[in-house]
Amino acid sequence: MKAYFKIMVALAVAILSAAPALGDTWNVGDSITYTLSTAVWTPYGYGGLFTITNTNTGAVTESFCIELDEHIYQNDLVAGISDAAVAGGRGGGPDLDPISSSTDWLYAQYVSGNMDMDYSNTAALQIAFWILEDEVTSGEATSWFNSTLHHTTNLYVVAASSYNGSYGTQVLNLRAANGTPHQSQLVQTQNVTEPAILFLLGPGLFGAGLFGLARQRRKITK
C-alpha cells in the first residue's frame, strides 16, 4: 500500500511543479512580440487571431483584440492583467472597461476547444468580440463584412449572449515604453488552480490506498 501512496504523491508533486501561476507567465513590464495569422480589417483598424509571445518568460498564447481603435506593436510592454481594458476603445470610453461575461465565455470556448459548436472561424470570433464589447455595431458589421462571415459572427454572438458568470478570461493590457496605452488582448487564466488539483488528487490518493490495501488482503487470504 505504501508503494501506491509513494507513486501518487510523486505524481501530485510533478503536477504541481509543472503548473505555473499566471503571474509567472505574464508580469507587468514584460515585453511581447506577436504574429497575426487571421487578419480582420475595418475602417478603424485591424484585428484577428494573434499569437503573442512573452519575450521574458517564453509564454505563448493565442488571443484576440478587444478595442477596435487601439493598436498593438512589436515589443509592447505588459501594463497589467485584469478583467477590464484600459482606455476601453469605442465602446468603453477613456476609463476602465470590464469585459462582458459573454466575451469571457466565448473566448473560453475557443481556448478549451469546445466541441458543442465549431469555434474555428477566428475572423468571425474577432468580430463577435468587438460586437459583444460594443466596439462594432450590427449595422457596421453588416456593411463591413460579407454575409457568410456576418452569419457565423451572429451565431457566436447569440450563443454567448445568454451566459453570465466568470469563465477564466482576463485582459492583457499593453502599453508603449513611454506609458501610452496600446491594444488590450484576451488571455485565459489557469482553469485548475493548485488547491483544486490537490482536491482532485485527494480522492485519487484515497482510492489508490484502498485498492492497494484490498490487494494486500487478497494476497494474505490466499
What's the mean pLDDT when you consider all of the chain?
80
Res. 113: pLDDT tops 90: no
Strand partners, 52: 34, 61
pLDDT digits (tens, 9 = 90+) for 142-178: 999 999 999 999 999 999 999 999 999 999 999 999 9
Q: Rg of the chain over CA atoms, in angstroms?
A: 22
Residues 157 and 119 sit within 8 Å (Cβ to Cβ): no
pLDDT digits (tens, 9 = 90+) for 41-100: 999 889 999 999 999 999 999 999 999 988 999 999 999 999 999 877 787 767 788 999
| Residue 220: pLDDT band with limits 50, 70, 90 | very low
| Cα separation values, 59 from 22, 23, 41, 170, 188, Å | 10, 11, 27, 15, 12
Mean pLDDT (whole number) for 102-113: 94
Who wins on pLDDT, 121 or 211? 121
Q: Give residue 3's pLDDT.
A: 55
Res. 17: pLDDT tops 50: no
HEC string for 32-98: EEEEEEEEEEECCEEEEEEEEEECCCCCEEEECECCCCCCCCCCCEEEEEECEECCCHHHHCCCCEE
Instruction: Say which amino acid occupies 67.
Output: E
Q: Give residue 69's pLDDT.
A: 86
pTM for this entry: 0.75
Res. 198: pLDDT tops 90: no
